[in-house]
Amino acid sequence: MSFTIDTRILSYSGAEKVLAAAIAKATEMKVPECIAIVDAGGHLVSFARMDGAFSMSLDTALVKAQTAASYGEPTGNILAGVDLKLAIATQGKRVNLPGGIPIIIDGRVVGAVGVGSGTGEQDRQVALAAVKAVPNAKQFE
């Protein structure tokens, strides 16, 4: 029986590349976004609020990233009703809004991206593009 597991963590330089990919996609779409990149524990590693993005979306972007890192699944897929119970039980620390995508390498969550300020679908598209910048990361659609 092992008391430890091998882990990987998202580096700052990796987070910055993920952030740059997200910004590029948001710019291409002409949708200013708040973009949060977190490590596997949901701790903020990198963040940007593009010019014109809603300032309150910085909170939703971060919580989307934290939720995706915690569950290892994209946000927006939790069953209706369960999502509200989770939001209440965690005092709003878990959300079901689209735009959070985990970064998974070799079956392990190393971080996540959370995007807010566009529509849910725009946020999701930006987050998906960000994760595509990570070599060998699991891709979601």
In a domain, 140, yes or no: no
Chain mean pLDDT for the chain: 95
Phi, psi of 122 (to 5 degrees): -65, -45
Cα within 13 Å of Cα(82), Cβ side: 5
Mean pLDDT of 15-35: 98
Instruction: Give the Å distances, CA to CA, from 24 to 13, 15, 27, 32, 88.
Output: 17, 14, 5, 10, 35
In a domain, 38, yes or no: yes
pLDDT score recorded for residue 5: 84
Mean pLDDT of 16-27: 98
- Cβ-Cβ contacts under 8 Å for 106 (sequence gap 6 or more): 8, 136
pLDDT category at 10 given cuts 50, 70, 90 is very high
pLDDT of 99 over the 90 cut: yes
pLDDT of 78 over the 90 cut: no
- Kindly state the tokens that stand for 43: 């701790």
pLDDT score recorded for residue 138: 98
DSSP 109: E
In a domain, 137, yes or no: no
In a domain, 40, yes or no: yes
In a domain, 81, yes or no: yes
The answer to whether 95 and 82 are in contact (CB under 8 A) is: no
pLDDT score recorded for residue 127: 98
Can you give the residue range of the structural domain that contains 26? 14-132
Structural domains counted in the chain: 1
What is the CATH number for 107?
3.30.450.150
Mean pLDDT of 35-59: 97
Q: Which residue has the tokens 């891709």?
A: 139
The alpha carbon of 22 is separated from its chain's Cα centroid by a whole number of angstroms, namely 10
pLDDT score recorded for residue 107: 95
Residue 93: exposure state from Cβ atoms within 10 A (0-12, 13-18, ≥19): middle
In a domain, 5, yes or no: no
